[in-house]
A and B are shown apart, each in its own frame.
Chain A
C-alpha cells in the first residue's frame, strides 16, 4: 500500500534555494515569487493533540491559522498581531478557527513548540490559461532556539494543492520525484523542528515489556517512565499552563504508588517503605489544588442557571485555588521533592542489580506471572467487595471500591500488554464505566461538602446572601447527582462483574 501522497520533498544534498528554483523551472511552467523571510511559531498541546489529529497551528504574518502540516494549506485562521505565549481554544473569538480547535484541544492549552525562520520562495505552477494549478514553496528553514540560536533544518519543497486540480497535482508530483529527483520528506517541518530541539512533549505511559522478563527489571522500566512523566509535567504544573499538567502528574504518582503497593515483593522492603511515605506526601501536597481545579473547570456547568448570583462564589473558589496552587508549588519546588525524585531514580537504576533477592521474593520471577497474580487478586477482591454493597450501604465501601478500581485499572494499563487477547482492554472498558459512576458519587459528595464549608465565607462577601441561596440550590443539585450516580451503581457493577467473567480473567492472567 502506498502511503499518503507527499506534500513535502527534501532537496538533494548541497542544493539551495536558487538551484532548486532552476531545477523546477526546467520541468514546469512556473511563476516565481520573490525570496522572503518567514517567521513561524508552531503551537500544540503538551500531549501533541494537534499532531495526532494531523493538524498544525501556526502563527505567521500576523495570522493564527490551523494548517495541514504537510502542505500548509489553511483550514481556518484569524488575524493575530503577535504570537501568543499560551492560548486556549475556548478563548478565541467565535468563528471557524475556534470551531475546529476547541474539540481537538479540550481543556488543554496551546503553547509554542517550535519557532522556525525560513528563507523561502513561493512559486506557482501554471496551466495554459496562466491559472495557478499547484503552489510550490522552496524553503531553507532553521529552528530558532534559546538565545536565538539557529539550527538549520533540511531544505525542502512544499507543495500546496489547489482545489479541483488533482490531475495537475499528480503531474507535479511525478516531475518532482522522477524528473527533479527529489525525495519525499519523511517528517513534516514541524516534527523535524520539534525533534531538533523544540519543546518536549508528554512521554507515553505504556512501556513495552516482554512476558518472560524479570519482574524487577520490568517494574523498574515502568516506574522510570512514570518518573519521566512526573518530571515532564512539573514545569507546566508549576507555571499553571493548564490543569492537565497537574492531573497527569498526579496520575503518574498514583500509578507509581499502586505498583509500589501491589508489587511490593519486587522491592527491598526497607527503602520501599520510605519511598511509599514520600510519594504519599507528594500526592497529598497536590490534592487540594487538583480538587479546586476540578471545581473551577466544572463550575460553568454547575452554575449555568445561577451564574450571576454565584459570582461571589466563583471569585472565592478562584482565590482558594490560587492559594492551594501556591502551597502546592512550594512543595513541588522544595528540597524534599527534589531529593525524592533523584533518590527514586537512583533506586530504580539499581533495582534490577540489587544483589539480595531473598528480601524480595518476586524480583526474579516472570513479570507476567507476578502482575497477573495481582490483577486476579484485585479483580477478585473488587467482585467480593462490590457484591457486598447493597442499596442501604453507607458511602465508605463505595469509596473503597473506587480505590481498588483505580489500582486494577493502573495494573491493566501498565501490564495489560503482556497478556494475549483482548481481555485486558475489555476489562478496562467495563471498569471505566463503573469508575465513572463511583467517581461522580464521590466527587459530588466532596463538592457539596466544600460548598457547605464555604458558606460562612460567601455570606460575608458583597452579594453573599443571594449567592448563599443559590448555593443551597446547587448543593441540592449536587446531592441529586450523587444520588443518581449511586442508583447507577448496581447495574454498572453487574456489567463489570459479568464482562469479562471471572473464569476468563483467571485464565488470561494465570
Chain B
C-alpha cells in the first residue's frame, strides 16, 4: 500500500508545488515508486514536468470513478516518478464532488486501483478549504504544510490542526520561503520551533524560482544549492516519520 502525502496550505504562494515536486523527485530518486497528482487547476507541477495539463474526461469523470486512472498517468523524465496531470476542469472539482455520494471519500477512491503500484503518492493541492481539501484529508496519511514564518503562521498551523482533528492525517509542518535576514522570520521560527514543526526549513532562494525556467526538480539542476540541500533534509525527516508502507 502506498503512503499518501499531501502538500497543503489554505494560502497560495507558500511553496506547496515546489515541495510536492522536489519531495516526489527525491522519493523516486531514493528508489520508491512515486506518483504525483497535481490537483491544482493551475497545473504548476504538471508544467514543471513538461506534461500537458489535460485529463481525458476531465475532473468530473475522474472523481465519479468513470475514468480508468491508470491510462491517465504520464511518466515524467525521471525513473520511477509518474504524474497524474492537472486539468483546467479541476477548478470545478468542488461541484463535481458535491454531486457524488460520500464526496469526501472520492480522492481515496480514485487512488485505490493504483495503491499497489506506488510506494508514495503525493497530492499537490489547491489553496482552499473545500470539499476537495476534505477529500484530500481523508485520503492522506500526512499533510505536508509549508509555513512562511510570519506572524499569522502559528495561527494557520493551529487552525489546520483543529480542522484536521484527531482522526485526520498527521500534520507535518515545515518553514518555507525563509529569509534568514529578516528578524521576524527568525523570531517566529524560534517561537514555533519544536512545537510540531519539522527541523528542515526551505530558504527563499532564487534556485526555487528558477524551477519554472528550467522546468525540472531542483535537485536535477542545482543539487548543491542551499534550497536543494534543504529539501534533502526535509525529505529525510518526512521519510523517517512516514516510511513507505
Contact = CB atoms under 8 A, between A and B. Distances in A.
Interface of A: 63, 74, 76-79, 95-96, 124, 129-132, 161-165
Nearest to A130: B50
B77 A95 contact: no
Nearest to A97: B31
Given A63-B31, A74-B79, A95-B244, A165 B74 contact: yes
A165 B75 contact: yes
A129 B31 contact: no
B119 A96 contact: yes
Interface of B: 31, 33, 49-52, 71-75, 77, 79-80, 82, 119, 215, 244
A405 to B, nearest CB: 41
Nearest to B71: A164
Contacts of A95: 119, 244
Contact of A163 (B49, B50, B52, B73): B73
Contacts of A77: 31
21 contacts: A63-B31, A77-B31, A78-B31, A79-B31, A96-B33, A129-B50, A129-B51, A129-B52, A130-B50, A130-B215, A131-B50, A131-B51, A162-B74, A163-B73, A163-B74, A163-B82, A164-B71, A164-B74, A164-B75, A165-B74, A165-B75
Contacts of A132: 77
A74 B52 CA distance: 24
Contacts of A129: 50-52
A112 B80 CA distance: 25
A249 to B, nearest CB: 38
Nearest to B119: A96
B176 to A, nearest CB: 27
A78 B77 CA distance: 20
Q: Is the interface of B mostly helix, strand, loop or mixed?
A: loop
Contacts of B77: 124, 131-132
A382 to B, nearest CB: 46
Contacts of B72: 164
A124 B33 CA distance: 21
B84 to A, nearest CB: 10
A225 B80 CA distance: 44
B31 A163 contact: no
Contacts of B52: 129
A95 B31 CA distance: 11
A95 B163 CA distance: 34
Nearest to B82: A163
Given A131-B51, A162-B74, A165-B74, 12 more contacts: A63-B31, A74-B80, A77-B31, A78-B31, A96-B119, A124-B77, A129-B50, A129-B51, A130-B50, A131-B77, A164-B71, A165-B75
A164 B73 contact: yes
Contacts of B73: 163-164
Given A77-B31, A78-B31, A95-B244, A162 B50 contact: no
Contacts of B31: 63, 77-79
Contacts of B51: 129, 131
A47 to B, nearest CB: 27
A76 B75 contact: no
A130 B71 CA distance: 22
A79 B77 CA distance: 21
A76 B33 contact: yes
Nearest to B118: A96
A320 to B, nearest CB: 40
B214 to A, nearest CB: 11
B21 to A, nearest CB: 15
Contacts of A79: 31
A74 B28 CA distance: 12
Contacts of B80: 74
Contact of B75 (A63, A96, A130, A162): A162
A101 to B, nearest CB: 15
Contacts of B49: 131
A163 B119 contact: no
Contacts of A78: 31
B75 A163 contact: yes
B190 to A, nearest CB: 38
A164 B82 CA distance: 10
Contacts of A130: 50, 215
A79 B80 CA distance: 14
Query: 9 closest Cβ contacts across the A-B interface?
Result: A164-B74, A163-B75, A131-B50, A162-B75, A132-B77, A129-B50, A163-B73, A163-B82, A164-B73
A395 to B, nearest CB: 46
Nearest to B85: A164
Contacts of A165: 74-75
A165 B80 CA distance: 15
Nearest to A75: B33
A76 B52 CA distance: 27
A164 B69 CA distance: 11
B16 to A, nearest CB: 23
Most buried by A among B49, B74, B75, B79: B75
B215 to A, nearest CB: 8
A77 B77 CA distance: 18
A95 B119 CA distance: 9
B104 to A, nearest CB: 28
Nearest to A31: B77
Nearest to A79: B31
B32 to A, nearest CB: 9
A1 B49 CA distance: 37
Nearest to A76: B33
Contacts of A96: 33, 119
A492 to B, nearest CB: 37
A423 B152 CA distance: 81
